[in-house]
A = this chain, B = another copy of it.
Amino acid sequence: MVIRQTMSTEDYLEAIALLANGGKPVTVTEISRFLGVKKPSVTHALRKLSAAGLVKHERYRDVTLSTEGAQMAQDVYRRHKALRQFLREILNVAPEVAEEDACRMEHFLSPVSLERLAKFLEFTLNSPHGEPEWLKGFSYYFEHGKRDEKLLARCRREDSGKG
């Protein structure tokens, strides 16, 4: 798949939001370090974001998000978190890989799908009796390449009980 070497507006907003959460004022240098991009690229991006009203930035000064900018950043980050959590906690993908995939996919999840994914995670991970059986079943299936006989047996008992 594709290695992205170009940042989008959303990446800048997300980065600024994350850095701002660190408490310290957000600087061009830090954004540059965070995104792995040179400082002129950041300045360039900030001009656009500023023109779009997403960011407040006076020359040589710190950067802050506008209300809309913060909103957008939060939306991106929500998608990021949902995707990462799905990859890690449902699919059991390694944390670093989950993070990378989430970073790249976060820009492309529609609001509808996000809503459903979030609900799905909520439903699954806040299950009232701890990790659901089926999720354990999936771990088994993934590791052994077949379904867990014990669980299957139990299902069969339930099926016959119902019929």
Q: Chain A interface (Cβ within 8 Å of chain B)?
A: 1-2, 4, 8-10, 75-76, 79, 87, 90-94, 97-98, 100-101, 104-105, 107-113, 116-117, 119-120, 123-124, 128-129, 132-134, 137-138, 141-142, 147, 152, 155, 159
Q: CA A133 – CA B134 in complex, angstroms?
A: 9
Q: B2 contacts A107, CB within 8 Å? A: yes
Shortest C-beta distance, A141 to chain B (Å), equals 5
Chain B residue nearest to A135 (CB atoms) is B134
Q: Is the CB of B116 within 8 A of A142?
A: yes
Q: Shortest beta-carbon distance, A111 to chain B, in Å?
A: 8
**Given contacts A104-B108, A107-B1, A152-B128, A113 and B98 within 8 Å (CB-CB):** yes
- Pairs A-B, 3 closest by C-beta atoms: A104-B108, A91-B116, A2-B107
The answer on a CB contact under 8 Å between A128 and B101 is no
Q: Is the pair B120, A159 in contact by a Cβ cutoff of 8 Å?
A: no
Which residues of B lie under 8 Å from residue A2 when comparing CB positions? 8-10, 107-108
Distance of A131 from chain B, by nearest CB (Å): 12
Q: Is the CB of A109 within 8 A of B1?
A: yes
Complex partner residue of A137 from B76, B98, B107, B123, CB under 8 angstroms: B123
Q: Sample 20 A-B pairs with CB under 8 A, ordered by A number.
A: A1-B79, A1-B107, A1-B108, A1-B110, A1-B111, A2-B9, A91-B113, A91-B116, A91-B117, A93-B116, A97-B110, A101-B113, A105-B108, A108-B108, A116-B142, A119-B142, A123-B137, A124-B138, A128-B147, A132-B134
